[in-house]
């Protein structure tokens, strides 16, 4: 069975390094045999997580759309910017809204539960955003996902990508390929049951 993997950059910024990483990760995952869906959170605008809002009007429609999309996947590749050595608010807000979903109509729906997740980051800094991934990993485990060990950090991101979007550095390419391979392998094992 072909694993279904969602690739999601945690930034909507024009020229986002993490959107560039999501693009190259999508190509690599597809090259290795995954059925890839890549989205942008700009298409799923969400209010700030607010328990009063949730109690008054329920889970926002865009959070439900994301929840259904995530639940239909075997795995998710998150491309995470680093803000102050931690998770950017756009990404954290999306994770939190989706984690609040428990039902879709009369059906139980826990979108994050049991999903395999790979983490990547791209930053102009020397560490490539890796400090933020520690926090993302902790949150994703807490919401019920299985975060794989392999991860990819792209340092010096302003000069890390070719004009056609590929990564220039062979070591970083290998890191990305190994992360994708591990995510696909874990998803395939889950599907095999």
Where helices occur in 72-169 by DSSP H, the ranges are 89-99, 130-142
Tell me what pLDDT residue 16 has: 95
Phi, psi of 74 (to 5 degrees): -90, -30
User: Which residues 6+ apart lie within 8 Å of 178 measured at CB?
Assistant: 150
Tell me what pLDDT residue 193 has: 61
Q: If you count them, how many residues does the chain have?
A: 193
CA angle 128–8–101, rounded 5-degree value: 125
Buried b (16+ CB within 10 A) or exposed e, 163-191: eeeebeeeebeebbbebbbbbbebbbeee
Tell me what pLDDT residue 46 has: 98
Tell me what pLDDT residue 26 has: 98
Return the residue matching tokens 């910024």: 13
Is the full-model pTM beyond 0.85?
yes
> Which stretches in the chain have pLDDT values below 70?
192-193
Domain extents in the chain: 4-192
Q: Are the C-beta atoms of residues 160 and 167 closer than 8 Å to each other?
A: yes
* 3-state SS assignment for residue 24: helix
Tell me what pLDDT residue 190 has: 76
User: Which residues 6+ apart lie within 8 Å of 80 measured at CB?
Assistant: 10, 18, 87, 88, 91, 119, 120, 121, 129, 132, 133, 136
Name the CATH topology of 4-192.
Rossmann fold (3.40.50)
Tell me what pLDDT residue 1 has: 81
Nearest to 73 by CA among 111, 19, 103, 118: 111
Neighbours of 114 (CB within 10 A): 12
Instruction: Give me the helix-helix angle, 17-31 and 170-192, nearest 10°.
Output: 60
């Amino acid at each position: 069975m072909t694993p279904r993997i969602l690739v999601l950059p945690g930034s909507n910024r024009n020229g986002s390094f993490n959107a560039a990483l999501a693009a190259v990760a999508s190509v690599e995952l597809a090259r290795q045999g995954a059925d890839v869906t890549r989205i942008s959170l700009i298409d799923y605008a969400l209010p700030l997580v607010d328990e009063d809002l949730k109690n008054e009007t329920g889970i926002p429609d865009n959070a439900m759309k994301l929840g259904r999309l995530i639940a239909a996947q075997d795995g998710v590749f998150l491309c995470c910017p680093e803000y102050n050595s931690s998770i950017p608010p756009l990404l954290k807000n999306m994770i939190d809204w989706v984690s609040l979903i428990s039902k879709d109509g009369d059906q139980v729906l826990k979108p994050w539960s049991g999903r395999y997740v790979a983490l990547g980051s791209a930053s102009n800094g020397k560490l490539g955003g890796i400090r933020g991934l520690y926090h993302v990993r902790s949150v994703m485990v807490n919401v019920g996902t299985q975060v794989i060990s392999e991860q990819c950090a792209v340092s010096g991101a302003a000069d890390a990508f070719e004009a056609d979007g590929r990564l220039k550095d062979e070591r970083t390419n290998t890191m990305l390929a190994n992360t994708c391979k591990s995510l696909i392998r874990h998803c395939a094992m889950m599907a095999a049951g």
